[in-house]
Structure formats: structure tokens, C-alpha cells
Structure 1
Amino acid sequence: MAWVQDLSFDDNNMKNPPTLNPGQPFTKSWRVRNSGTCPWTPGYMLTYMRGNNPLAQMGGQPAPVVGQANPGQTYDFSVNLVAPVPPGIYQGFWQMRNASGVPFGQTIWVGIQVPAPPTPLPPATQTPSPFIQFNANPTTVNQGQPVNFSWNAQNVREVYFYHDGQNWQNHGVPGVGSTVEYPPQSMNYYLRVVQTNNEVQTRQIFITVIPTPNAPEIREFYVQPAQLLEGQCVAIYWDVRGEVNKITISKDNQPLWDGAPLSGKLDDCPKSAGQYNYTINANGPGGANSRAQTVTVLAPPPQEPVIKNFSAAPEWMYVGECTVVQWTTDTKATNITLKRQGPDGEVILKQDALPMDGKQDCIAKIGDYTYILEATPPNGGAPESAKTLVHVEPIQPAPK
């Protein structure tokens, strides 16, 4: 017996099993061909053999041949089934038996899925009111001294912290946080909060800076980029003028360069995601001066899997029959290789395959065969792999 086509409830090689409601009756029909040398008489029948679940028979009963199907002719079988009640994917395998009850020919199957009941929606909850706090300590400092800012904004959509001369769009911060600033002159600092209803509230604190005329002048201090991914590095630039005894470049109060020159560039690579505060402190006989800049390091986004789908059908067959292995990978994946491991060792079935491809493989020995797909990501990292198993049994005796 050889399968020709599914006449109803086609599962597309179990890639897209049709969905049925729990307990729903349905009729599965196949068209098969008598590929042997003996006619099929009413003593021949299509019977259930096994399934991926104890409920995979779905109440199906043997379907006897009505009339006669001679060698080379096609014949349509239909069985009445009932979808199981528990949710899940069900695959039941059917095979011909001759008048003596001996199974023979290709195995065919019916595959369906029963969905889980919808999750009841939780009762609507009232949107909590926003809560906003914004503090600075101290609010009056000598030039070069630090100011500690802290904020707490809850039940809101977005938060921005910035000062006069900065664009608020470039300075998003977490809802709860703190930072140290070294204001170069008297200025306003702002906390801009976007509420869940898109209304905007802004808090403002004015910081008074008492000039130190004879302190070193920090003409330039900036860190680029202000936002980066984990594993990347920043460049720190500075330019100091005046009478200077010592310049220190620090990160989170830990010196990176103690005794730095009047101007220069320094690279630094933060080790993990988070916020880092870079500062320059310049001390001279006339006083001290400082500047600071906060840098945000983001964790890299999760990488999409290179291998999207990988399957073999059928997963159980007789020796001499064929399985079809199919896959889909990232369209830019490279070095796509299909291998087979089994009683005959490891065999490379296909190299430099296409991202959406397949391979028919006919097995000549009984045993378990593992198909392995390997693909290199578009960025050239370590290759990913996926596996699927096919079981091959001895061929049944020919019908008499």
C-alpha cells in the first residue's frame, strides 16, 4: 500500500495539524494505492496501529475494503473519529492488514490538535495614581562640589532627568534612581514625568553654585557614547586650563587615571549593564573644580534563534521506506548542513543548503536515526544545531 493524498483534515506533515474542539466528531479520509501484486478483497482492512498518545485512536475502528481494489488501483478509506477532550496534539498511525491479519505497506496517519480552553480575563483593576518625588542635596555648593540627586516616580510611563541646556529627549532614566552632578554654574535641574494617560508633570530644582575664581578651568569634559551596549567601550575627553596640581579621572568614585594630563583621551569598557558616573576632578592652589557625566550601558537584546523549524516525517517507518526532513532557518544563516547519525555512523546528507529546504532520505537498515541540522548565525558566531529522531523497524512479511 502507498499513500496518495489526504482527502480531509490534511495536517501538512504535522506542521499545521487542523484544530478541533474537544469531543468534536470528524471523518478522516485518505486515498491510497494498491502497490502490491495481490487484489484487496473485503478481508483486507485499514486498522489503527499506534499513536503518540493513548487517546490517539480517537475511537477509530477498522475500515474494511468494500468491493475489490486490484494492483495499481487507488482506493479511498474513511474512518469516523472523535477529538479527545484534553488539549494537545494527537497523531494516530494506521496501516493495512491482509485477510490473515498481517500488517503490510506504508503507514499513514491522522493528526489534529485540540486547543486549551481560553484563560478567563482577570477583573479590571483601577489604574493606580502616579507618585513623584524629586530631591537634591545640597542645593548650594562651591564650584567643583557635588550635588546628589534622587527621584522616585511610580505608576508612570516615562521619566527624564536633565538640566538647563540639555534636550530632555536624550536623557531618559529609570523610574527610581539617583546620580551625582557637578554643576559648572548656577542652573536648574528637571525631572520630567510622562503619566500613563500621557499627561506630563515636571519638577524643578535650582542649584546655586558659588564661583571659585582661581580654581582650574575645565573647558571640556564629555564621554561618548552616552548610551551603549554591554561589551562596548566609551571614550573620555577632557581639557583643563589654569594652575593645576592634580587631575583625576574616575568612574563611580574609583580612579581610572590619578595624575592625568591637562588634556587627553581615555577609553574605558564597562563590564556589565547599568549606569556609570564618570567624573573629572581638577585641584590647584586656587581651589578645585569638577564635572561629571552619566553613561547608560544596556544589555544586548535577546538573539533570535537561527533555526526556526526542523522536522522529519514520518518519525516511525519500516526499513526501505523514506522520511522527508525539512527546515527553516534565518534567511542570512550560512554553512547550513544536514547530518544523519545511526547504525551506519555519521553521514552528511546536505551541505550549503538553503535557508528553507528539505531532503528525502530512504533508510536501508533498522534502528534509530538522529538527524542533525547545523547553521551558522548571520554574525558569524558559534553554529546552532537542532535534532530530530526517526525510528526504523524490520519490514513486515509480504501478504499472501
Structure 2
Amino acid sequence: MSNIKRTTRTETTHTESTVVETVDEGGSEALRQAPVAHKRIHPATAWHHLQSFFIEYPPTAGSTTPPVKVFANDRQQVRIRMVLSPRDANGAYVAVPVDELRGMLKLVDYNTGEPLPSGWTVEKTANEYTHDTSVISSAPGTSDADYLPHDNRAQSGAQSGAPASDQVAVELFVRTRMANSAVRIAASILPPGGSQPIQTRPGASGNQFDSSVNVDARPPLDLSIDNFRVRESYYNHDHLSWFTVANRFITLEYQSRRVRLLRIENAAGVPWGPGINIYGDLGDFEANDWLYEGVFTICAKSPWSTYYFDIPDYFNNYAYVYDKLGEVQDYEDGAILFLLHYFDENQHFRWSTNWGDPSDVLSRNVILVDEYGNNHRVRIGVPRLGLQFQVLGKW
């Protein structure tokens, strides 16, 4: 093998991009690397100090800090809105982009200035779960009246929530899995080139700002099966194929209100995954004066999709009935829809032409996830071979 001498040349072009070229002298031309242009990294917007810096909840600095509640399901978020007024060394306002400030801001423990405790997570974007304090239990010794509306209005009291012309509003989001705990949250930011962070904690490195929010982490909803409803809707019976399809809607009610169900997960926590379908094939039963066999359900996520997964994939002499399995009617947002399919005239379904009838699966352990991010571990299905699809219990 020949000796190879490697040299590297670095050049800064008139566009301020950097070109690095590596040349292997005495070696094969194939070892020569093409020039690589590196993207210019823009520095952070320069600013020196903050004229104002506060958390809009509570809106008045120095007052008793009211709490806000959150379900400790590690999903539901509390929105923390901060208002800043960056200034240069001469006191002039600097319009720093919101995304830039969001990347610099941190949430800390008001008492110590340290990061939030383990089990508390800060995120930069909102997720799909609703935050409504009226359905969350209060901490011991605290009434609902102690929790002020979390409206994040501007400190000036403006209903629009818009900051002043020389201020920037930035949001972060907090979730937790630590039930029956609480943390007092402050905001912290380190100016570009600065050595000490500015915090909404008075006395911290000379900071003059003072605002925070107390977050109470409350246990997730743990409801009884009486809070679940199953509504029936029959809609399709085809006498030519001896085949009937019916809707079953699972809904949730709490405090005389409807709670939206976002999705169904199997017992392992996989959304819309295997292990959520119910079926029975090993016996005949009477219903509405017809003889039925082969009752099972398929979960539908939307008006246009159904989920087969582990149901039998072959119908004896009736493979075409898959056209009917996809017929979803009366889709309802906030409900979990099952399609109930059953046969009359003793029509069987099988796993394949060579395999025998599948064993009955009359119930399943599933997880229903509500709009607040709570898991409801329930058993669904039929108590016996038949059409009485329902929420059977909890697990």
C-alpha cells in the first residue's frame, strides 16, 4: 500500500460560508473529497437585560400565588405563559423572535432555582389533550374557589391577551406523572453572553422580578363502569347474504357532562392495535326470531376506516362480505365505535379454508383514553354468546 499524505484546507468565502476540502496526496483520485459547504450559523439576537419579565398566571406580581390543577397522567398539560421585554445596554427595546426566546426560556423551582423535580416535564408545544380544571379534584384543604381561571390575560388586564408593543409573550407547557404533589414554578432565562440567568424569583442573582404559578398534580380520573354508556344503532340487514351490521357506541359521562373519548388501546397500550375485537362462532343463539351465529365486532377509528387485526380472515363461501365490514355509518366524534356483524342461516367464519372455526373471544381488556389524557381500563364484550355488547367491568 502506498504512503498517503492528507492535507486539509479551510476557506471562508465572500458569502461567509466555510468550505473544507480534504486532499489525499499520492493516493487514488477516488479518495479525494468534494468541497463541502457548511451552513452559516446565525448568532442569537443580542440583548442585555429585561425591563419586564413575569408569568401571566397569576397576573399580579407579589400577590398570593394561586394554584392551578392538572391530572397527573403524564399527558394533560398546564400552559405557562411568560411576558418579556428584552432591552439593549442603552435600554432600547429589542424585538427578539418568539421561537428564539422559547429556546432560551426554562422553568425552574421557585424556591431553589433548580430544574423542576423528577416526573415533571416541560414541552415547547401543546398536545391534543384538553385542560379543564372543573373536572379535576382539588388538593386537600383547597376548594375549587381557590383555583383562579387560567386565562393568561395580559398584566394590564387586556381581554385580548396581547402583550404591549414592547413585550413578547412566550408559552411553555408542563405535564407530570407525580400524583398528589405540587411545585411552585418560576421562569428563567440567560441573556446571550450573560453569566447569570434572570429569573422570576426575587433576590436570585439580584433579580427584581417576582411571579410564579403553583401547580397541583391531582390523581387521574378513576370512574366506575356506571359512567360508561353503550348505545345501539341497527342499520343494515341483507336477507340475500344472511348478514346484519349494527353500530355500538361507547361513550363516557362525568358530572352530568359528556367526556370525549379520543381512542381505544389494547391491554398493552397500543392504539387501535390487535386485541380489541370481539367474536364468537361456537354456538347458535336466538335473537329477534332469527337464528344467528358468528357474532363479532370491529373497531372503527373514523368514518372511513375499520380495524380487522386478529379477526378471522376467511368467511366460508362469503369472502365478499368484507365489502359490508367496511360500512361505517353514523360516525360520532368523541365516541368509540364498534361494528357488530352477525350471520343468520348458520353461516360460519373461519381463519382459513383448511383451519377449523376459531375459538370464541367474547371479551377483551382495553384502555379507553379520554380527552384529558386519562386511561380507563375496562373490559368490553358480551357476557355470553349473543348481541349484548357492553362495558363488563374494570381490570
> Is the TM-score greater than 0.5?
no
Q: Which has the higher contact order (CA 8 A, sep 6+)?
A: 2
- TM class by shorter-chain length? under 0.3
**Where is the strand percentage greater, Structure 1 or Structure 2?**
1
